[in-house]
Amino acid sequence: MSQAPVLKLDQVSKSFESGENSRLEILKNISLELNRGEAVSIVGPSGSGKSTLLNIIGTLDLPDSGRTLINGHDVATLAEKELAALRNQEIGFIFQSHHLLPQCSVLENVLTPTLPLGGNDTKSTERARNLLERVGLTGRIDHRPGQLSGGERQRAAVVRALINSPSLVLADEPTGALDHDSADNLSNLLVELNNEENITLIVVTHSMDLAKMMKRQFTINQGSLTENL
């Protein structure tokens, strides 16, 4: 029996109200299928629907029509508790702003997604320490976010996204707030971790340098998603 795709979008559409008795169509019949370990980028002009698409993929929003399947699970059929569990265990999020808790250490921030699981604290802590060592943050493990550089904060956010061993990681403009050297370092790190962790990686970005590092590249424009072949 073949394994279900990590992500399958089937004719997904989404629109929003834009004035009285008017709706603006943001996504138009988008279909996409990604298997374990694939790395893709999505580029497009501002307002083209990139963030809307990422929110639907991340189960933070539902489409008006079409289906979103994560590892074979139809998101629309899940109860809120089941959906929250799937989001926590199967999807990692990396944003332009790191969203680290300022009062917590790097290690505590990284372990935050493990709290709802009530799992083995020793095992989670060991994985956190190993990943922080992997991204060069061993010496910062007890520091708070305010004591880190922008690049270090983003690396900590990457580790937090990976802590529960998700099958799918979504990165929304992950290098957008970084200087050139830090952006290059983070881009290379994402590619390396995609290979090492065998995660399916989706990067939404304005950076063509980062976009071209992904194995598959897509453009979204006027609500349609097209693969750049």
Who's near 60: CB < 8 A, 6+ residues apart?
A: 87
96 DSSP assignment: S
Residue pair 198/206 in contact (Cβ under 8 Å)? The answer is no
User: pLDDT value at position 119?
Assistant: 57
16 CB-near residues (< 8 Å, 6+ apart):
23, 24, 26
What's the pTM?
0.93
pLDDT in tens, 41-66: 999 998 889 989 999 999 999 999 99
Alpha helices in the chain (DSSP H): 50-57, 80-90, 106-111, 121-134, 150-162, 180-197, 208-211
What are the pLDDT digits (tens) for 166-205? 999 999 999 988 999 999 999 999 999 999 999 999 999 9
Q: What pLDDT is recorded for position 1? A: 44
Residues linked to residue 9 through DSSP beta bridges, in sequence order: 32, 68
Predicted confidence pLDDT, tens digits, the chain (229 residues): 458 899 999 999 999 887 777 888 899 999 999 999 999 999 999 888 998 999 999 999 999 999 999 999 999 999 999 999 999 999 999 988 888 999 999 999 999 999 887 656 888 999 999 999 999 999 999 999 999 999 999 999 999 999 999 999 999 999 988 999 999 999 999 999 999 999 999 999 999 999 999 999 999 998 999 999 8
Structural domains in the chain? 7-227 (3.40.50.300)
